[in-house]
Amino acid sequence: MTAAHCVDAASHPGPPSNWLIVAGAHNIRDLSESTRTEHRIAKFIVHPNRMKWTYDYALLELIDPIRIRPEARPLFLPQPSDHQKLSPSNTFVVSGWGDLRDSATNKGSAKLMFAKVPFVTDSECMGIYQKELGNGVESAFCAGYPEEGGIDACQGDSGGPLAFLDGNKVKLIGVVSTGAVCGQAGQPGIYAKMSLAVDWVNEVTGGCNGRVCRRGKCMTGEDLGPAQRYFHSWKK
């Protein structure tokens, strides 16, 4: 799963086979990491409702399958109704190798980084971004710190996961999509809403995630261990 704008021809010309998925890496620049594996891409599959800023969903069909292991474990897909559970007390975890500050000239981070970001209500989110997003705003939502800023995803994190601990299941609640200035007060990050796309994902993949999760291969609270604390309710 990734963001459609990550595979736009204008951004990444050339066939999918020119690109690689790296799994199990921590330091993305360390080619000798024993947990790191590389996987070729057969096809990009973009959501049929894709617009300029919304329905920012794409799937990558791999030539080489990823072997599931502690360093490369899938999340649960959400239920279509999961977005209705969310409130500003919910804290998510976003992760990636993107820039550590805005306008960092796409240098990115060598090591995998993460940040805790709370849910922003849809009314507040769309009060900020609805005009800019245009059609399809039902596919987007916000997470971050609108008042104070300072913590956010950034350039280079696009397409990465926004994780939500729901009971004992770690779910892919969102995909890093877009935003304005990284960490700017009044401009929380925008994420593609996975609960809206889950039926499409299951149709394209034949329900692969459900089968894998039923075999006990998907990320749980027990797998997180002490890291569960990062998902605790946010208190200002």
Query: Do 92 and 115 form a contact (C-beta atoms < 8 A)?
Result: no
Query: Do 233 and 91 form a contact (C-beta atoms < 8 A)?
Result: yes
> Beta partners for 41?
62
In angstroms, the first-to-last Cα distance of the chain is 32
Given the residues 109, 139, 158, 177, select the one marked as catalytic: 158
Cα 153 from Cα 95, distance rounded (Å): 8
56 catalytic residue (yes or no) = yes
Cα 235 from Cα 189, distance rounded (Å): 19
Q: For residue 143, how many C-alpha atoms fall within 13 Å in the half-sphere facing its CB? A: 30
122 catalytic residue (yes or no) = no
5 catalytic residue (yes or no) = yes
What Cα–Cα distance (Å) separates residue 69 from each residue in 21, 66, 219? 16, 9, 10
In 97-225, DSSP assigns E strands to 113-120, 140-143, 161-166, 169-178, 189-193
Given the residues 47, 56, 83, 152, select the one marked as catalytic: 56
Cα 39 from Cα 204, distance rounded (Å): 20
Given the residues 5, 82, 109, 139, select the one marked as catalytic: 5
In 47-188, DSSP assigns E strands to 58-62, 91-96, 113-120, 140-143, 161-166, 169-178
Query: Do 164 and 143 form a contact (C-beta atoms < 8 A)?
Result: no
**Which residues are tagged catalytic?**
5, 56, 158
